[in-house]
Structure 1
Amino acid sequence: MTTLVVGATGATGRLLVEQLLQRGEAVKAIVRRTGTFNEFITSHPDFTEILASVHDMTVGELAQQVEGCNAIASCLGHNITFKGVFGKPRLLVTDTIRKLCEAVQSTNPAQPVRVVLMNTVGNSNRDLAEKVSFAQRCVIGLLRITVPPLRDNEQAADYLRTRIGQNHETLQWAAVRPDALIDESEVTAYDLYPSPIRSAIFNPGKTSRINVAHFMAELMTDQETWNQWQGQMPVIYNRPE
């Protein structure tokens, strides 16, 4: 199996690439700069690095990269700088997911391709009647107006929910929603839920990046896990000690 990873040089993306290679999967990563991966990744025979800006690639160029891939993972996010949050491209994640999906469709794969999107627990799954307090709705509404990355995350997931949907011929998807991200060196126990069990604003949980990478790798390589969560937006929390 071959997986294309975008956002592979980010804190979670690098961990995902490593997880996939450790499972014996081939990985292609589109990166804007080289020299960001550890020796295990760069020396691995099943790793391919494509030097390009994924946002600037055309659908035709992306089609060359997705052809033959069984899965696509997006760990794209906006840099936490003034330019990264408020500058262009405002819809980095949404535009990339849309073009990747169009690229897959243009290749007419024999089997549906899995698309796994790293999203955020601050984004509600509007396919479900998720309970969100009035206070949280107010805060999220303000953030949606003032912080473009939130709107980008929402629209990326909405594209998968509404444009790809549940019965697409060539694409299947899942959007992983971590809570407050932390760094840990090893995979630990974690819990998965269809919807948040706590307030992302007023009572956030913790999710380690390496656990997010582990779960995303599970989705792309384990059929039972995929059957359980495909077409959904699972929430992942580190299990309390």
Structure 2
Amino acid sequence: MEKTKTVLVLGATGATGRLLTKQLLDQDLRVKAIVRSPGGLPESLRRHENLSVIHASVLDLSDFEMAEHTAGCDAVASCLGHNLTFKGIFGQPRRLVTGAVKRFCQAIGANGSDKPSKFVLMNTAGNSNRDLNEPISRAQSCVVGLLRLLVPPHRDNENAADYLRTEVGHTDTGLKWAVVRPDSLFDEDDVSDYELYPSPTRSAIFNPGRTSRINVAHFMADLITNDDAWKKWNGQMPVIYNKES
């Protein structure tokens, strides 16, 4: 019998992170969740026998603690993001996502596991996959340039994905990755039909699509548990949209 997978979730108290945590637990996986405020998790999750809650701020962990928390994990899933408040957007830490991705990838490498671990990062359709040289209009390029200059979370998302693309790359034998790019996020109660593409099929600035958070969580969990899905999207930055009726 295959050993039960263990997944470390970053950002588990966020709107999407809570849904991902539930998706993983519903599939009988063991989940470790690093959270600053355990009360941000619903009680039904906090009491789940397969959930281990680690009360800490991600970037305050030492290298040793990060290596300890990633030890024995088959995957790390990050739903980290900046709060949509003035302090959350312009305050510290401005490199929350990039810092977490970099340090946890290094922690995975330090463990020296004999099988590759997965890193699944939630990102945004507004960030281009520069491995594919995705075409965007001049107008969108100007807007994205302004966002990169003026809105720290956008630059943080870009740098986090770029770290996986360029520093971890596609040949690392100990760590494999995928970056999930939803468009305009909204809440929905149930998983619905969704579509996946290697690159955006519409402008994230001038003609955005819609993606429910629960569908993002479902796809991230599928990447972790479904070998066929992982083989298809490993090392890529799939864009996810809700299927239009």
Shorter-chain TM band: over 0.9
- Are residue 101 (structure 1) and residue 101 (structure 2) matched? no
5 Å-filtered alignment, 1:215-230, equals 215-230=219-234
- Residue-by-residue CA offset, 1:53-87 (whole Å, 9 max, x unaligned): 00111221100100000000000000111111001
Gaps of 5+ in 2: none
Q: Distance in 2 between matches of 1:16 and 1:31?
A: 14
Q: Distance in 2 between matches of 1:92 and 1:13?
A: 15
Which stretches of structure 1, 4 residues or longer, exceed 6 Å deviation after superposition?
Answer: none
Question: Which residue number corresponds to residue 87 of structure 1?
Answer: 91
Letter in 2 for 1:164: V
Gaps of 5+ in 1: none
How far did 1:103 drift?
Answer: 0.4
Choose from 160, 167, 179 the match for 1:163: 167
Identity percentage of aligned residues: 59
5 Å-filtered alignment, 1:1-241, equals 1-241=5-245
Q: What's the secondary structure of 1:121's corresponding residue?
A: coil
Q: TM-score, normalised by structure 1?
A: 0.99
Q: What's the secondary structure of 1:68's corresponding residue?
A: coil
- Residue-by-residue CA offset, 1:167-200 (whole Å, 9 max, x unaligned): 1021000000000000000000000000000000
8 Å contact kept, 2:210–2:241: yes
Q: How many pairs align?
A: 241
8 Å contact kept, 1:6–1:75: yes
8 Å contact kept, 2:12–2:41: no
Q: What's the secondary structure of 1:35's corresponding residue?
A: helix
Q: Distance in 1 between matches of 2:33 and 2:119?
A: 15
- Residue-by-residue CA offset, 1:115-147 (whole Å, 9 max, x unaligned): 000000000000002110000000000111000
8 Å contact kept, 1:58–1:99: no
Q: Distance in 2 between matches of 1:117 and 1:173?
A: 8
Q: Distance in 1 between matches of 2:95 and 2:42?
A: 29
Q: Distance in 2 between matches of 1:138 and 1:39?
A: 45
Q: What's the secondary structure of 1:64's corresponding residue?
A: helix
Q: Distance in 2 between matches of 1:186 and 1:88?
A: 34
Q: TM-score, normalised by structure 2?
A: 0.97
RMSD: 0.7
8 Å contact kept, 1:189–1:238: yes
